[in-house]
Structure 1
């Protein structure tokens, strides 16, 4: 703790060692120059009552000034030079700073608030310490007569200072929630707009085909093409929403006991119509059907993304093969692979394959749009299982993605 020496101007006032970080902490609370708030006014008044003092303040120490957020017996919303503030010394300590008679203290005896109105004599203050350990200001009580606080009064003042900080934290949280709610409302409006357009196109096309279409083949192809394009837009957009939502959250595993082959077969059933449309065969190879413990929903997202990518970059006549095997060393490990005989991956793309980098984003063999989010999400979920993923690929020959996942307890 810096020694409180005889100080006369700003340049002589010692600053906390964490001054720059302390200033950043003040900014997070967005408290400076705000209007009076009853909860702080009440706490400051309580401080004066329990210490039997005629005045009290809640002060925030900014770069070169002391700003009074709340006051009792004095005016709030005011500021003064930090070089003249007694609280500038209080924030240098983690304990109470008490001066029985300011007129006899070399540091403050010539200060205007001592020599002139309001003729302060007594001062006692506690720093306002945030949960991160930054003294952003002080709660202090003052009196025109010299005196000393009892130990009980000092403890009460310290408790109220802690409550002031708690209210600051609540206030900050409320402000952040209000901001998030505004962002959420804006987000929902954007989502509503972006989803409504392709959905309206699909609905109106279906209605036209049911009630108006008279059998013209060219018109049918045009309408079906529009439906396909709109559907792809929806798939891409919702994939981005889900992926970003998952990536921004604190993901954790929800372990259950499953049959891996059944999970994969369910996914293949979903992708079979797309495979038939692209004239691509899907084959499977499962070595056993034992139960295995993992997060089934995240595992399905892993395999689903890999199958989807394999189909996306395959052409008519190609094939996709999904394999799964539970190995039994000391601890059981699931080995899965998804292979295709498609177009393969250019060598220069490999290093960025599992990163959210749009630089190498590619369209599928039939113009399918890629968000660039699938493989980074796959890697995230594999690593969440303490597993690993790698790829072997050759342009014009195909790609194989290998996934290993240890059994989770």
Structure 2
């Protein structure tokens, strides 16, 4: 492995201007200290063959070390101090760094690998440049005798370096897909369990009423109450599951002329039975004239999630107020808010409110379950309209969610 024993101080080695960002990209590829992989070994061997060199390496530059992922004629899986690595100089360039005779280069002539075994003389390296322009390492070829690569050989070295980066990109994508599949499998198992339980309760209750129940009124009320609670859970889970599917697969706006007040009234009718059950009032205040251009279905999901969220954290005697106002004549803007006099949101939950963070999930005032998908979906669909969503809250007093959406032209 080529090392510079006369450069032990990392500060003596110039660093790329984007070093901190470059290091983040290195970590994203999750390649450091991994086992040998045949596809990289083969490409590194190919580099030695086409350049007629006796040795070659694929090196990744970490914070303070160079790690060799693959090698030909040398040992792989090894590392050295970054201040001693020739490839630390290669990543500073956008093109090939070639040193025909290391023993005549002032930077490297006294290095142990030049003056002693393995007596490296020739070095030629090309940076491993990602699609975002970060040099995460280098592909290099070495020899024990001085020489120069031909233009064709340099081009081949560049091509192989590009292929290595492409394989790294595929490898990273595969890892991300594997992680995504694991997350989805876990999510589906959770949803399957949470849907199966209330559904089984409903089925068994219906069977009992049909075949066993003997007419006791109190028992009937208890069974109907259980069916109602189970039904609510099913509605909540299935709605959030559909919302999650939409979030993953639909990032386009389908614009239509929408009667905002009528749409919100229709949504409130859906939630009125639940509001009556919890003894919560829903009121409206509208200042809208005519239609407004936006995505009908996504706006329904925005308002529906906000109303559902308000109901979830409201109790008997609380009030929910839905307001909508259209401002302007040409570049019009829709202002909506959903306020409640419920339990409010603790300060520690505010920062992660619009993210899929399980630690910020809370049960409703009657034990309603949430998968934490509603508010992240609201944020996504509002921002898809080039709008903004924010919240004001006071624990024990209530919360207000404000949505601002400019009209689509």
TM range (shorter): 0.7 to 0.9
- Residue 381 of structure 1 deviates from its aligned partner by 4.7
Task: Assess, with a 3 A threshold, how the Cα gap between structure 1 residues 278 and 20 changes in structure 2: closer, same or farther.
Answer: closer
Partner of 1:25: 25
In the alignment, what sits opposite 2:71?
A: 71
- For 1:374 and 1:70, the matched residues in 2 are separated by 46
TM-score (norm 1): 0.75
Q: Which residue of 2 aligns with 1:226?
A: 226
1:129-278 alignment, distance < 5 Å = 129-238=129-238, 253-260=253-260, 263-264=263-264, 266-274=266-274
Alpha-carbon spacing, 1:354–1:221, altered in 2? closer, same or farther (3 Å): farther
CA distance in 1, matches of 2:117, 2:184: 51
Q: The residue matched to 2:330 in structure 1 has which SS? A: coil
Identify the residue that residue 45 of structure 1 maps to in structure 2: 45
Per the alignment, residue 353 of structure 2 pairs with 356
Cα distance in 2, alignment partners of residues 261 and 295 from structure 1: 15
Q: Distance in 1 between matches of 2:109 and 2:384?
A: 63
Instruction: Work out the CA distance in 2 between the residues paired with 1:215 and 1:270.
Output: 32
CA deviation profile, 1:49-103 (whole Å, cap 9, x unmatched): 3322232211123344433222223333333444443223222333322111223
Larger radius of gyration, structure 1 or 2? Answer: 1
Distance in 2 between the 1:321 and 1:297 partners? Answer: 21
- Find the counterpart in structure 2 of residue 3 from structure 1: none
Whole-Å Cα distance in 1 between the matches of residues 303 and 151 of structure 2?
Answer: 66
Q: Distance in 2 between matches of 1:195 and 1:154?
A: 61
Q: Does 1:297 align with 2:297?
A: yes
Change (3 A) 1:90 1:353: closer
Say if 1:95 and 1:231 are closer, same or farther in 2 by CA, change over 3 A. same
Deviations 1:286-308 (A, max 9, x none): 89995532111122224434555
Local SS of the residue matching 1:10: coil
State how far apart, in whole Å, the 1-side matches of 2:170 and 2:391 are.
48
Displacement after TM superposition at 1:403 (Å): 6.5
CA shift for structure 1 position 210: 2.0
Give the drift of 1:217.
Answer: 0.8
Aligned equivalent of 1:10: 8
CA RMSD, Structure 1 to Structure 2 (Å): 4.6
Cα–Cα, structure 1 residues 293 and 354, in superposed 2: closer, same or farther, change >3 Å? Answer: farther
Distance 1:71 1:200, change over 3 A: same
CA–CA distance in 1 between the matches of 2:363 and 2:247? Answer: 22
3-state SS, counterpart of residue 71 of structure 1? strand
Aligned to 2:58: 58
5+ residue gaps, structure 2: none
Confirm or deny: 8 A CA contact 2:305 2:378 kept in the other structure.
yes
Aligned residues: 398
Unaligned runs of 5+ in 1: 1-5
Structure 2: how far apart are the matches of 1:116 and 1:321?
Answer: 81
The Cα shift of 1:215 comes to 1.0
